[in-house]
Amino acid sequence: MWNASGGLPKGVPMASKKLLGMLNDAIAGELQVALQYMWQHVQWKGVKHFAVKDEFKTIGIEEMKHAEAIAERLFYLGGTPTTKPEPISVGSSLKEMLTTDKKDEEETIKLYREIIALAAKEGDLTTAHLFTEILGDEEGHHDTFQSLLEEI
């Protein structure tokens, strides 16, 4: 992928430092919620747990796939993907978990809309497309957590 002088080969899009940083922020967030949702899946107990435990696991796996896709894109653009997640908050009650998860998804949706706009402005349609696809998943996650909160 790299040419002899250590730079990207001709034809590989250049991304601004701001966009590269935002992609790393996205990776850190995806790692955070992947772990957070998985631990919520593992640690929550009680009757209500059975109604949501599989959702936590399924969404946690989806978030890890997002982290991987974003890391691959960042690396292609010449960046180094972070391995450090944002702070994880498992919560001690189902309502606390879902409220935190809903808020995390809202922050992610806001960031991804900003990434899409910046990538499009820079002419990086591949990054804009990747985040448009992931944004649809994140909006679905937000809807899931919002719906579950309405039921408890």
Q: Is residue 134 part of a domain?
A: yes
Q: Is residue 59 part of a domain?
A: yes
Per-residue pLDDT reduced to its tens digit, 67-87 = 999 999 999 999 999 999 999
Q: Give the H/E segment covering residue 137.
A: helix 125-151
**Count of CB atoms situated within 10 Å of the CB of 104:** 23
Q: Is residue 5 part of a domain?
A: no
Per-residue pLDDT reduced to its tens digit, 82-110 = 999 999 999 988 899 999 999 999 999 99
- Quote the CA–CA distance of 99 and 65 in Å, as a whole number: 23
Residue 16: closest CA among 108, 110, 79, 82: 79
Instruction: Tell me: pLDDT of 5 over 50.
Output: no
Identify the residue with better confidence: 53 or 16. Answer: 16
Q: Is residue 111 part of a domain?
A: yes
Taking a C-beta distance cutoff of 8 angstroms, is the pair 49, 104 a contact? no
- Structure token digits, residue 19: 């966009």
Q: In the chain, how many domains are there? A: 1
pLDDT of residue 136: 98
Q: Is residue 3 part of a domain?
A: no
pTM of the model: 0.89
Taking a C-beta distance cutoff of 8 angstroms, is the pair 29, 108 a contact? yes
Domain harbouring 101, CATH code:
1.20.1260.10
Per-residue pLDDT reduced to its tens digit, 133-148 = 999 999 999 999 999 9
Taking a C-beta distance cutoff of 8 angstroms, is the pair 115, 26 a contact? yes
**Alpha-helical runs (H) found in 3-124:** 17-43, 47-76, 94-121
| Structural domain that includes position 126 | 17-81+88-151
Q: Is residue 126 part of a domain?
A: yes
Residue 15: which pLDDT band, with cuts at 50, 70 and 90?
very high
**Distances in Å between the alpha carbon of 32 and those of 24, 64, 106?**
12, 9, 14
Q: Is residue 97 part of a domain?
A: yes
